[in-house]
């Protein structure tokens, strides 16, 4: 009986140490960098952990995004993608944020700022590029139209 109680207490202790709401989200966060290009096939399989976009704005050559997500036990990765279009398609540029949560089931709520370089979406011969910003369609209601001037 002592063995079962000891194992149970050890398991509980490991659980509470693993899911630490005081964990600095920056310690478990990777991803801010620049807009990445992706193929249509790979785009269909992007990770889409839950998150909410609260604020998006352009600051010089960077796109700054404030997101909220839950976690605290495993690393999280946010990446900004240029949504692929079919050749000849004249649709406006769309950018989309993906979130890899690595199966983190912890429930601490984090709010972080991400910054991504917009240089990869520049178009030669132009001084500005308009784009649409979207998060995960099923998990983020934030959509916006932006103009990147360079």
Number of domains in the chain: 1
Task: Please determine, for residue 58, whether its predicted confidence score (pLDDT) is greater than 50.
Answer: yes
pLDDT given for residue 60 in this prediction = 96
Tell me if 130 is assigned to some domain: yes
Nearest residue to 62 (alpha-carbon basis) of 91, 90, 104, 33: 33
| Boundaries of domain holding 89 | 21-149
pLDDT given for residue 33 in this prediction = 84
Tell me if 4 is assigned to some domain: no
Mean pLDDT in residue range 93-98: 91
Tell me if 14 is assigned to some domain: no
Mean pLDDT in residue range 85-97: 84
Residue 146's pLDDT band (cuts 50, 70, 90)? very high
Task: Please determine, for residue 116, whether its predicted confidence score (pLDDT) is greater than 90.
Answer: yes
Tell me if 118 is assigned to some domain: yes
Task: Please determine, for residue 149, whether its predicted confidence score (pLDDT) is greater than 60.
Answer: yes
């Amino acid at each position: 009986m002592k063995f079962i109680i000891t194992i149970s207490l050890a398991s509980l202790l490991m659980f509470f140490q693993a899911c630490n709401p005081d964990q600095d989200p920056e310690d478990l966060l990777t991803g801010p960098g620049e807009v990445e290009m992706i193929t249509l096939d790979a785009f269909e399989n992007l990770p889409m952990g839950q998150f909410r976009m609260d604020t998006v704005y352009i600051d010089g050559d960077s796109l700054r995004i404030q997101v909220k997500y839950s976690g605290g036990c495993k690393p999280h990765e946010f990446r900004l993608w240029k949504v692929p279009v079919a050749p000849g398609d004249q649709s406006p540029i769309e950018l989309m944020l993906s979130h890899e949560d690595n199966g983190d089931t912890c429930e601490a709520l984090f709010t972080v700022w991400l910054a991504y370089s917009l240089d990869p979406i520049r178009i030669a011969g132009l001084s500005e590029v308009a784009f649409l910003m979207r998060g995960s369609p099923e998990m983020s209601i934030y959509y916006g139209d932006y103009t990147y001037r360079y």
